[in-house]
């Protein structure tokens, strides 16, 4: 490379282009390989007479049924219903989780009092709250939101508290010295300092919430992605089932991407090494 | 940014960190005129930072009071601002935002903040770095940002706690000169804590020598040098030697400072066998000691 006379700017942009194209190519190749494995699996199902009825699981019947499901609004309805539950559950998890996490990070007393209880509650599988949720909330929608919130709140709490534990106490001293009141301390010092950790916690929480959502929707409700999967199974339309599974994967991947973007946006630590 | 300093009155200041711990310092009395620059010199652990934190209102004293003009210091205020040993900048903010943070705390209007921040940044000569990420600055530049962050508040009193001790010799010398000239130009008061005697001579009009456990102010030495202060200047060298002598005398009178034997306050109180200390304490203040 040393002998190349091209200006540095065009060289780096070239590298970036090549690299970018390579990443895109890799991504497409990976997806194609995945589809091939999927098709292969379906063919194996077709070879066995006992499982032959399941060949509509395959990629081709699946993609063929997408336009129908889209035109009849089934995908959109399921996404909206599930999205609402995920959104409300995550909102509750953040509304409760961030202040509790900050309190844990700031107050040693509160941390000591709450830690063992929280660790205990955290280890309870979210779905085991299901019977309780059903008793507490006559409305299934609310019960599912409760389940998502209780699954998602722990990563938010612990990530927030861990973020605060790493905050330099001198920042508080500097802020106090310059006349910060408690509201400034939270909005201009604590929150920007721990935003990275909070979003990392939200990312973990979203993963958990997304996992809890589908089994929760398999029961009771008549809308959402989980319901759509159960409905497809009951009507033996396996190609619809796989469409919904793909939709779950794509949306989860997309939401995770948003979290990663937020984490990158609010991360100031990555520069420290330099 | 024209502003005058304040008259400082510290009376009967005594501090202990908790009911069980020993006194950090005892009955400290300091008076200073408006616009005066004081240096506090003393060994590590004699309570200089504690004293400065109390003057800044960041710590409540056990006894005594600090008055600036007629205001009793009971907490932090934009009128008296402290600058710490390390810059402690907020890494999620750019240089200009860091400099303006105190004005945001004070709810100043946006355009006023912009104007005053630009002035302060010009004062510390960091114009080209206004939009830089603070983590990309050198240690000296970061400390300049911290200085601008303090000066933008237009304080009447600037408190400096060993502000340059983490910097290399060249940067330190440059900042010592700059801070003194800025402080003089603004006419504000300064109290600088240091254990560098040169720094005291180069930057202040009076040096207070603190020593002992609990700490006390042993000497209050005027540094009456005219004109710009250069390290090689014979007058500066003389002053330095005088301070050094006073410093050694103060610390020798307080053996608790240099080792952990029982404090020897007067010759009469000293124990037998502690001859060297007794001699020193009874007034033999010779320049050398074995
Ligand atoms: N937060 C604290 N709690 C209890 N004791 C403290 C605290 N801060 C300081 N001390 C004690 O008070 C004494 C004075 O400390 P201080 O930091 O004021 O000394 P200093 O003169 O500034 O020293 P240095 O030159 O090393 O900065 C020391 O013995 C120290 O151990
Ligand atoms: Mg100190």
In which band, very low, low, confident or very high, does the pLDDT at B287 lie, cut at 50, 70 and 90? very low
Task: List, in order, residues 6 or more apart from A33 with CB less than 8 Å away.
Answer: none
A265-271: average pLDDT: 75
Is the CB of residue A95 less than 8 Å away from at least one CB of chain B?
Answer: no
Higher local confidence (pLDDT), B266 or B43: B43
B168-174: average pLDDT: 83
Which among A170, A188, A268 is the nearest to B88, CB-wise?
Answer: A170
How are beta strands B80-83 and B206-211 bridged, if at all? unpaired
Is the CB of residue A179 less than 8 Å away from at least one CB of chain B?
Answer: yes
Decide: B208 and B30 in contact? Cβ < 8 Å.
yes
Tell me, yes or no, whether B178 lies in a domain: no
In which band, very low, low, confident or very high, does the pLDDT at B223 lie, cut at 50, 70 and 90? confident
Phi, psi (rounded to 5 degrees) for B86: -115, 155
| B182 CA from centroid of ligand 2 (Å) | 24
CB contact under 8 A, A179 and B101: no
* Residue whose tokens read 């939009």: B131
Q: If you count them, how many residues does chain B have?
A: 290
CB contact under 8 A, A171 and B90: yes
Which among B88, B104, B106 is the nearest to A174, CB-wise?
Answer: B88
Q: Among candidates A22, A269, A12, which has minimal Cα distance to A163?
A: A269
Q: What is the pLDDT of residue B117?
A: 95
Strand (E) positions, A229-273? none
Q: How far is CA A117 from CA A121, A128, A154, B36, B199, in A?
A: 6, 17, 12, 57, 55
Question: In the predicted model, is pLDDT for residue B271 greater than 80?
Answer: no
Residues paired with residue B192 on neighbouring β-strands, in sequence order: B39, B160
* Residue whose tokens read 């497409």: A28
The 3-state DSSP class for residue B91 equals coil
In which band, very low, low, confident or very high, does the pLDDT at A19 lie, cut at 50, 70 and 90? low
Q: What is the pLDDT of residue B276?
A: 36
CA distance A78 to A82: 6
In chain B, residues with a C-beta closer than 8 Å to the C-beta of A195 are 92
CATH code for the domain in which residue B287 is found: 3.40.50.300
Q: Write out the DSSP string of A112-160.
A: HHHHHHHHHHHTS-GGGGHHHHHHH-SSHHHHHHHHHHHHHHHHHHHHH
* Residue whose tokens read 């040098």: B225
The 3-state DSSP class for residue B157 equals strand
Task: List, in order, residues 6 or more apart from A136 with CB less than 8 Å away.
Answer: A143, A146
A104-131: average pLDDT: 88
pLDDT in tens, A175-225: 999 999 999 999 999 999 999 999 999 999 999 999 999 889 987 788 888
Question: In the predicted model, is pLDDT for residue A150 greater than 80?
Answer: yes
Number of helices (H), then strands (E), belonging to chain B: the values are 9, 10
Q: What is the pLDDT of residue B286?
A: 36
Q: What is the pLDDT of residue B57?
A: 93
The 3-state DSSP class for residue B29 equals strand
Chain A neighbours among B 13-72 (CB < 8 Å)?
56, 58
Tell me, yes or no, whether B79 lies in a domain: no
Look up the CATH superfamily of A62-273. Answer: MetI-like (1.10.3720.10)
B24-41: average pLDDT: 90
Ligand 1 atom showing the smallest separation from residue B48 Cα: 21
B14-33: average pLDDT: 88
Residue A267 Rama label (left phi>0; alpha psi -120 to 50; beta) = beta
Give the max Cα distance, chain A.
78
CA distance A69 to A244: 10
Q: What is the pLDDT of residue B279?
A: 34
CA distance B104 to B110: 8
Q: What is the pLDDT of residue B244?
A: 87
Q: What is the pLDDT of residue B261?
A: 39
Q: How many domains does chain B have?
A: 1
Give the residue on B whose Cα is nearest the Cα of A175. Answer: B102
Q: What is the pLDDT of residue A14?
A: 62
In which band, very low, low, confident or very high, does the pLDDT at A13 lie, cut at 50, 70 and 90? low
Question: What is the average pLDDT score of chain A?
Answer: 86
How are beta strands B63-68 and B80-83 bridged, if at all? unpaired
Is the CB of residue A271 less than 8 Å away from at least one CB of chain B?
Answer: yes
B236-243: average pLDDT: 85
Is the CB of residue B138 less than 8 Å away from at least one CB of chain A?
Answer: no
For A130-139, B129-138, B165-174, which range has the lowest pLDDT when averaged over its residues? B165-174
Question: In the predicted model, is pLDDT for residue B158 greater than 90?
Answer: yes
Which structural domain, as residue segments, surrounds residue B200?
Answer: 1-74+186-290
The answer to whether the peptide bond before residue A149 is cis (omega within 30 degrees of 0) is: no
Q: How far is A31 from chain B (nearest CA, A)?
A: 38
Its pTM stands at 0.78
Q: How far is A264 from chain B (nearest CA, A)?
A: 12
CA distance A55 to A62: 10
Question: In the predicted model, is pLDDT for residue B267 greater than 50?
Answer: no
Is the CB of residue B206 less than 8 Å away from at least one CB of chain A?
Answer: no
Tell me, yes or no, whether B113 lies in a domain: no
For B164-172, the CB contacts below 8 A with 24+ separation are: B164/B199, B165/B85, B165/B194, B165/B195, B165/B196, B166/B85, B166/B86, B166/B139, B167/B139, B167/B140, B167/B143, B168/B139, B168/B140, B171/B138, B171/B139, B171/B140, B171/B143, B172/B199
Decide: B162 and B85 in contact? Cβ < 8 Å.
yes
In chain B, residues with a C-beta closer than 8 Å to the C-beta of A177 are 56, 58, 76, 81-82
Which among B81, B91, B136 is the nearest to A178, CB-wise?
Answer: B81
Q: Write out the DSSP string of A18-40.
A: HHHHHHHHHHHHHHHHHHHHHHH
pLDDT in tens, B35-81: 899 999 988 888 899 999 999 999 999 999 999 988 899 999 989 99
Chain B neighbours among A 184-213 (CB < 8 Å)?
184, 188-189, 192-193, 195
Question: In the predicted model, is pLDDT for residue B175 greater than 70?
Answer: yes
The interface pTM score, or ipTM, of the predicted complex is 0.79
Q: What is the pLDDT of residue B230?
A: 79
pLDDT in tens, B180-221: 988 888 899 999 999 888 899 889 999 999 887 888 888 888
Interface test with A, best of B50, B105, B113, B159 (most A CBs within 10 A): B105
Would you give the end-to-end CA distance of chain B in angstroms?
52
Would you give the end-to-end CA distance of chain A in angstroms?
25
Q: What is the pLDDT of residue A12?
A: 59
Nearest residue (by CA) to ligand 1, atom 3, is: B17
Question: In the predicted model, is pLDDT for residue B281 greater than 50?
Answer: no
Phi, psi (rounded to 5 degrees) for B189: -85, 155
In which band, very low, low, confident or very high, does the pLDDT at B3 lie, cut at 50, 70 and 90? low
| Alpha-carbon Rg for chain B in angstroms | 20
- Report which DSSP code applies to B287: S
Give the residue on B whose Cα is nearest the Cα of A181. Answer: B105
Tell me, yes or no, whether B179 lies in a domain: no
Tell me, yes or no, whether B174 lies in a domain: no
Question: In the predicted model, is pLDDT for residue B262 greater than 70?
Answer: no
CA distance B107 to B102: 9
């Amino acid at each position: 490379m040393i002998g190349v006379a091209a200006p540095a700017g065009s060289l780096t942009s070239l590298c970036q282009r090549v690299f970018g194209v390579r990443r895109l190519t890799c991504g497409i190749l990976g997806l194609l390989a995945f589809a091939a494995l999927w098709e292969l699996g379906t063919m194996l199902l077709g070879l066995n007479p006992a499982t032959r009825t399941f060949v509509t699981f395959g990629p081709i019947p699946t993609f063929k049924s997408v336009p129908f499901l889209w035109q009849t609004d089934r995908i959109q309805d399921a996404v909206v219903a599930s999205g609402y539950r995920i959104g409300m559950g995550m909102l509750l998890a953040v509304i409760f989780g961030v202040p509790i996490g900050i309190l844990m990070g700031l107050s040693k007393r509160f941390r000591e009092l709450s830690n063992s209880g929280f660790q205990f509650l955290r280890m309870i599988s979210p779905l085991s709250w299901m019977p309780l949720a059903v008793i507490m909330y006559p409305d299934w929608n609310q019960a599912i939101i409760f389940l998502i919130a209780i699954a998602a709140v722990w990563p938010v709490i612990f990530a927030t508290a861990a973020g605060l534990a790493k905050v330099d106490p001198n920042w508080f001293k500097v802020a106090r010295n310059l006349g910060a009141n408690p509201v400034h301390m939270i909005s201009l010092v604590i929150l920007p300092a721990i935003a990275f950790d909070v979003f990392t916690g939200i990312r973990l929480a979203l993963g958990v919430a997304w996992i809890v959502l589908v089994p929760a929707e398999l029961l009771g409700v008549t809308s959402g992605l989980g319901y759509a999967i159960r409905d497809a199974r009951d009507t033996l339309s396996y190609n619809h089932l796989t469409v919904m599974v793909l939709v779950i994967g794509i949306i989860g991947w997309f939401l995770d991407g948003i979290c990663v973007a937020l984490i990158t946006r609010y991360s100031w630590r990555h520069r420290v090494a330099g | 940014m024209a502003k005058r300093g304040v008259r400082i009155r510290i009376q009967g200041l005594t501090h202990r960190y908790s009911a069980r711990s020993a006194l950090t310092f005892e009955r400290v009395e300091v008076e200073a005129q408006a616009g005066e620059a004081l240096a506090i010199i003393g060994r590590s652990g004699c309570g200089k930072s504690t004293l400065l934190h109390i003057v800044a209102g960041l710590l409540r004293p056990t006894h005594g009071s600090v008055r600036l003009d007629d205001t009793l210091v009971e907490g932090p205020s934009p009128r008296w601002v402290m600058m710490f040993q390390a810059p402690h900048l907020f890494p999620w903010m750019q240089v200009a935002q860091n400099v303006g943070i105190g004005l945001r705390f004070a709810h100043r209007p946006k355009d006023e903040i912009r104007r005053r921040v630009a002035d302060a940044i010009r004062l510390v000569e960091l114009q080209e770095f206004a939009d830089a990420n603070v983590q990309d600055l050198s240690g000296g530049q970061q400390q300049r940002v911290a200085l601008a962050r303090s000066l933008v508040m237009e304080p009447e009193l600037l408190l400096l706690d060993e502000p340059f001790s983490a910097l290399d010799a060249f940067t330190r010398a440059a900042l010592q000169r700059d801070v003194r000239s800025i402080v003089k130009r603004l006419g504000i008061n300064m109290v600088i804590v240091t254990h560098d005697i040169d720094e005291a001579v180069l930057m202040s009009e009076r040096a207070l020598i603190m020593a002992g456990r609990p700490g006390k102010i042993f000497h209050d030495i005027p540094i009456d040098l005219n004109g710009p202060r250069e390290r090689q200047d014979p007058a500066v060298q003389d002053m330095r030697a005088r301070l050094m002598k006073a410093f050694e005398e103060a610390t020798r009178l307080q053996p608790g400072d240099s080792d952990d034997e029982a404090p020897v306050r007067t010759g009469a109180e000293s124990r037998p066998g502690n001859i060297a200390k007794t001699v020193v304490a009874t007034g033999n203040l010779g320049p050398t000691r074995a």
